[in-house]
């Protein structure tokens, strides 16, 4: 059976920032690296993300935010490039559009932009979208109810388009395994993009044990490799075995952030090789 592999394009954020890779280069690199799907970070879809920023910064109440003609043209070109490469879209990781903000007006704007990304994902044929909860100091019952309600609105809209909505242990209190599980349990239909590394200090093992069963996608996080191909900061084969034992059968998403030589393509390739060898052993 073919191992399903996708690379979150944040793995290539240095190449993107330097102008050496854009969305079309990302598609070509994923094809060369043997991926079976595309998992772009929304910054790689730069024209669309710039539109988000302008809308979120605008004064006044939220209004419906349809895709522009320029958006449509750009999406058609991206979809054509992906189709020519034979790579379907898996998960789009959407930064900058959290479920929770303190100000009601900002919450409304986030929801409208999230609806926009559902439209984008539908046009690209993406299977999943990741939205963050946002930052909060404590997950009070009031905040939990609000976040769960916000996700449920997105889940209803996205599921009608065949798209699954995910949350991630990405930052803030969502790196606390107990908080993450509370959000998941309070929100039927919400899946988990499980990052191997993003946990509060000393809570990684607990995170793996508590959260593997919720996983619908992974970010196998890597930073540095030994000469034998093993990752030096985590025991990746153990993480993968725990997921398999929990019944995980989704794609193996990669988020490689090389610390030593900054070779982003090489880091992604080594991570894919480690995933495949771990599944075979």
pLDDT, tens digit only, all 281 positions of the chain: 679 999 999 999 999 999 999 999 999 999 999 999 999 999 999 999 988 888 788 777 667 777 889 999 999 999 999 999 999 999 999 999 999 988 878 888 888 899 999 999 999 999 999 999 999 999 999 999 999 999 999 999 999 999 999 999 999 999 999 999 999 999 999 999 999 999 999 999 999 999 999 999 999 999 999 999 999 999 999 999 999 999 999 999 999 999 877 899 999 999 999 999 999 98
Phi-psi region of 247 (alpha: psi -120 to 50; beta: other; left: phi over 0): left
Tokens of 231: 């990752």
CATH superfamily, region 5-280:
Divalent-metal-dependent TIM barrel enzymes (3.20.20.150)
- Ordered by start, the domain boundaries in the chain are 5-280
Q: In what order do the strands lie in the sheet with 128-131?
A: 37-39, 5-8, 252-256, 215-222, 191-195, 164-168, 128-131, 91-94
Asked if residues 97 and 113 have their Cβ atoms less than 8 Å apart, the reply is: yes
pTM of the model as a whole: 0.96
pLDDT for the residue 248: 97
């Amino acid at each position: 059976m073919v191992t399903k592999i996708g690379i979150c394009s944040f793995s290539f954020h240095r190449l993107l920032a330097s102008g050496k890779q854009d969305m079309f280069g990302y598609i070509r690199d994923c094809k060369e690296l043997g991926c079976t799907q595309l998992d772009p970070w929304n910054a790689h879809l730069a024209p669309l993300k710039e539109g988000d920023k302008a809308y979120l910064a605008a004064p006044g109440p939220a209004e419906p935010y349809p895709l522009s003609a320029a958006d449509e043209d750009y999406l058609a070109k991206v979809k054509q490039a992906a189709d020519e490469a034979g790579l379907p879209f898996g998960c789009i990781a959407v930064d900058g559009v959290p479920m929770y903000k303190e100000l009601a007006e900002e919450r409304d704007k986030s929801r409208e932009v999230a609806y926009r990304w559902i439209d984008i994902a539908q046009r690209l044929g993406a299977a999943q979208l990741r939205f963050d909860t946002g930052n909060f100091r404590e997950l009070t019952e009031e905040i939990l109810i609000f976040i769960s309600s916000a996700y449920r609105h997105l889940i209803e809209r996205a599921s009608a388009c065949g798209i699954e909505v995910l949350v991630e242990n990405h930052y803030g209190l969502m790196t606390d395994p107990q908080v993450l599980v509370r959000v998941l349990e309070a929100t039927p239909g919400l899946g988990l993009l499980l990052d191997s590394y993003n946990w509060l200090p000393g809570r990684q093992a607990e995170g793996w044990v508590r959260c593997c069963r919720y996983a619908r996608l992974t970010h196998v996080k890597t930073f540095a490799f030994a000469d034998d191909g093993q990752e030096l900061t985590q025991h990746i084969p153990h993480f993968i075995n725990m997921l398999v034992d929990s019944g995980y059968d989704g794609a193996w998403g990669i988020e490689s952030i090389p610390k030593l030589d900054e070779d982003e393509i090489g880091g992604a390739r080594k991570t894919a090789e480690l995933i495949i060898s771990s599944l075979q052993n």
